[in-house]
Amino acid sequence: MLPRTIPIFPLPTVVLFPNVFLPLHIFEPRYREMVGEALSGDRLIGMTLLRPGWQDDYEGRPPVYQTGCAGLITHADRLPEGRFNIVLRGLSRFRITGEEAGRGFRVARVESLPEMATDADRALLRDQRHRLEALLTSVLEGGEHPFPTTMPDEDLVNALAQYLPLEPIERQALLEKPGPAARCDSLIDLLEMRGLSSGRSWTSGAAH
């Protein structure tokens, strides 16, 4: 379970998924403060996606999508001038229910959104994984996707959702799915609708 409030880090293109790692460079003063406080506390940061039109109020509190993912800082390097390089590991999805005022960075009131996975969901996911891997092998450069075959089904789906070159709003829609089986099904549909099965190659962003 997440605490009642967590700091949030809204970005225009980044969506974090459970159990996936995300490297970040922190340079804005308000977010340097946020990371410093997180490192002295529970090391939790909530990643959220900015809604379209965020440019008009970026220095303030532009609207964000209500569903995000909390991450644990697993590694942090303090750099000159107070900057940080950090690595987050996705922990749990959440829904924003409100925001707290009075801080230099944004702090949200949240409720946890556990990933729903029944036995039937897990069986479906095992079947869907073969379809997903076949699709990826046919369209990614080199003929192989860059994730190990030993990666658990849920982690594979979440890693692909985070690192394939999708539009931010497409990632957000995948994050909002109630669990990895539904996310996998939607990811397959999304890739096929975008014409990936037609033979057009992509280079996965998983190595970045």
Domain residue spans in the chain? 5-113, 119-198
Exposure b/e, 91-128, CB count within 10 A at least 16 = b: bbbbebeeeeeeeebbbbebeebebebeeebeebbeeb
Confidence band of 167 (pLDDT split at 50, 70, 90): very high
Token pair 């949200």 is found at 108
Q: Report yes or no on whether pTM surpasses 0.75.
A: yes
For residues 88 and 16, the answer to whether their CB atoms sit within 8 Å is yes
5-113 classified as CATH 2.30.130.40: yes
Cα–Cα distance measured from residue 18 to residue 63, given in angstroms and rounded to the nearest whole number: 23
> pLDDT tens across 191-207, in order?
887 654 444 445 544 43
Confidence band of 142 (pLDDT split at 50, 70, 90): low
Q: Give the DSSP H/E element, type plus range, for residue 133.
A: helix 119-139
Q: Which residue has the higher pLDDT, 99 or 140?
A: 99
